[in-house]
């Protein structure tokens, strides 16, 4: 398996890495990812990420849950074991609303979770890529893929050092 070469800029503070993202992007260097021990407000905007569209799978899984709930309640109360309670019809809609609501929410939540884990590569058997062990503690790392960056290794190192990186490392993964 061919290895990829990454250049890592290590930063001490979240404000430093947030400002560095803008500086590096202004120089035309494409950033692979920024890793931090906690979420940084505005980082996704600075990186130029498009808005997440998790609403689409939520809607599709929710509609699936609603459909399954209607099928379940109509089949069980109307055909499989019809019961006449209090003179009402076989399929009383208002009494089934909690079941429809719960299955809609349940399938939407599980569906979004599975889509998220699949998109992020967080499934059994996946091998996580950890660029620097310190990102789980107190450091912030900007990773730049040398092949996809659009700049030379020396230009990237100079840009990272000029943006305030305390360390600049090269790692092959």
121 burial type by CB count under 10 A (0-12 exposed, 13-18 middle, 19+ buried): exposed
The mean of the pLDDT values for the chain is: 89
Radius of gyration over every alpha carbon of the chain, rounded to an integer in angstroms: 25
Residue 1, pLDDT score: 58
7 forms bridges with which residues in the sheet? 144, 170
Q: In the chain, what percentage of residues exceed pLDDT 70? A: 98
81 burial type by CB count under 10 A (0-12 exposed, 13-18 middle, 19+ buried): exposed
Residue 121, pLDDT score: 87
Quick one: the chain helix, strand, coil %, rounded to 5?
A: 50, 15, 40
Between 54 and 61, name the one with better pLDDT: 61
Task: Read off the pLDDT of residues 17-52 as tens digits, 9 standing for 90 and up.
Answer: 999 999 999 999 999 999 999 999 999 999 998 988
Residue 7, pLDDT score: 93
Residue 160, pLDDT score: 92
């Amino acid at each position: 398996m061919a290895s990829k070469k990454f250049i890592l800029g290590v930063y001490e503070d979240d404000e430093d890495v947030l400002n560095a993202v803008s500086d590096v992007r202004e120089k035309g260097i494409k950033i692979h990812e920024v890793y931090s021990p906690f979420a940084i407000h505005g980082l996704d905007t600075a990186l130029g990420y498009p808005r997440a569209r998790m609403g689409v799978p939520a809607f599709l899984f929710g509609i699936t849950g609603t459909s399954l709930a209607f099928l379940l309640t109509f089949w069980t109360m109307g055909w499989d074991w019809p019961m006449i309670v209090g003179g009402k019809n076989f399929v009383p809609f208002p009494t089934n609303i909690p079941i429809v609501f719960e299955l809609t929410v349940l399938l939407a939540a599980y569906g979004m979770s599975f889509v998220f884990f699949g998109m992020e590569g967080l499934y059994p058997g996946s091998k996580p890529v950890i660029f620097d062990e310190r990102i789980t503690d107190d450091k912030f790392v900007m990773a730049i893929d040398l092949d996809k960056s659009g700049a030379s290794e020396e230009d990237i190192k100079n840009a990272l050092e000029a943006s305030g990186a305390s360390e600049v490392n090269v790692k092959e993964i």
